[in-house]
Copies of this chain bind each other. A is one copy, B any other.
Amino acid sequence: MELKAIGDRFRYRMFRQDGLARVGEIVTPRGVIRTPAFMPVGTVATVKALYPEQVKEAGADIILANTYHLMLRPGAERIQRLGGLHDFMRWNGPILTDSGGFQVMSLSQIRKITEEGAAFQSHIDGSRHLLSPERSIEIQCLLGSDIQMQMDECIELPAERAQVERAMQLSLRWAERSQRAFEAEKVKGRAREGQALFAIVQGGTDATLRKQSARALVGMDFPGYAIGGLAVGEGQEAMLATLEETLPELPEAKPRYLMGVGTPEDLIEAVRRGVDMFDCVMPTRNGRHGLAFTWNGRVNLRNARHAEDLSPLDAESTCPAARDYSRAYLHHLVRAGEYLGSMLLSWSNTAFYQQLMAAMRAAIAEGRFESWAEETKARLARKDG
């Protein structure tokens, strides 16, 4: 695919700050990412139960794909031979790939973490693999993703401080190796100008470790910084406290990405503290389980109270799934386990998350984020379902 000449560099521009919340844009050769941005998750090269056109029309500028899944099936070399991930899955906007490390640790059957990397067996066919920081970068370059992530060690919380520190230090060494590997890929011509490698701040919920991690990574000068290892069971309060300690350490001129988060309320609170990017399976996974996100709170469509409700999820939505189908019909589809139920609710939720980000961007741009956030959180708390 020919890239439009939007610019050959990767750059972040902040338009306005309102409190700590930031509205801006990331410019990549494949398109502009309006921030704060929510990235729908396309785990195995498809945002589950959605056509790529629907993801785009919902307002997503960028999607995330998972290195772990794609390296196992269909394989990174195969995707490269087929012209790269964008053409393969018919998504011509920017794609962010994770390093694969997190899912090696959460999904693979047998794994051994060493200084070198993570040895594991595929959860699909038991085949043996070694994922190192260098191999992760190589895979992400073969996929052709626009934003790549360093490999890190992400441990479950709560954990002993010594263990958190060890994983954080290992992640720092892997950050250096990832950066060197990424530069080497550029020399080899397999990474191009305008692709970016993000570092990942680790350190659990320990403020000292987080600051230490952030400072070391900032010293290495990455084009963007992620906060990893949160939303793994520590609770919203601890997560937000950790953000408050960590974000001030990160440069204003670079985008900040909170990995794997979260609920609409999480997104609002994280944006309030200065986060620019998010990804989460929640809109699609919950959609497949019959749960809809709306401006008036969550709606559990399995609930019998919807059985004869002719109203749609949101009569004012621009998304046909939210606007044109009755709750009674959605209830029926969910109860019957029909594809169309998952399709409609994943679509509606994906659109809702994008509308939420658009509303946040507008509120920040107009300097009314705080009042918007309070009002919206009150509406979202209605739990109308």
Contact = CB atoms under 8 A, between A and B. Distances in A.
Interface of A: 44-46, 48-51, 73-74, 78, 81-83, 88-90, 307-308, 310, 324-326, 328-329, 331-333, 335-336, 338-340, 342-343
Given A73-B336, A74-B331, 12 more contacts: A44-B338, A46-B339, A49-B340, A50-B340, A73-B332, A74-B307, A82-B310, A83-B310, A88-B326, A89-B329, A90-B324, A343-B343
A52 B374 CA distance: 39
5 contacts: A46-B340, A74-B307, A81-B308, A88-B328, A339-B343
Contact of A332 (B45, B326, B335, B338): B45
A343 B81 contact: no
A343 B51 contact: yes
Q: Which 4 A-B pairs have the closest CB atoms?
A: A49-B339, A46-B340, A74-B332, A44-B336
Given A49-B340, A338-B44, A339-B49, A82 B328 contact: yes
A328 B79 CA distance: 9
A91 to B, nearest CB: 11
A328 B308 CA distance: 43
Contacts of A326: 82, 88
Contacts of A307: 74, 78
A73 B335 contact: yes
A256 to B, nearest CB: 31
A258 B147 CA distance: 56
A375 to B, nearest CB: 33
A324 B87 CA distance: 11
Contacts of A49: 339-340, 343
A52 to B, nearest CB: 9
Contacts of A310: 82-83
B82 A308 contact: yes
Contacts of A44: 332, 336, 338
A83 B309 CA distance: 11
A339 B331 CA distance: 20
Contacts of A336: 44, 73
A326 B89 CA distance: 9
A88 B46 contact: no
Nearest to A69: B336
- Residue among A50, A51, A310, A328 having the largest count of chain B Cβ atoms under 10 Å: A51
A347 to B, nearest CB: 9
A83 B310 CA distance: 9
A83 B329 CA distance: 12
A70 to B, nearest CB: 9
Contacts of A73: 332, 335-336
Contacts of A83: 310
A216 B340 CA distance: 42
Nearest to A310: B82
A26 to B, nearest CB: 27
Given A51-B343, A90-B325, A333 B78 contact: no
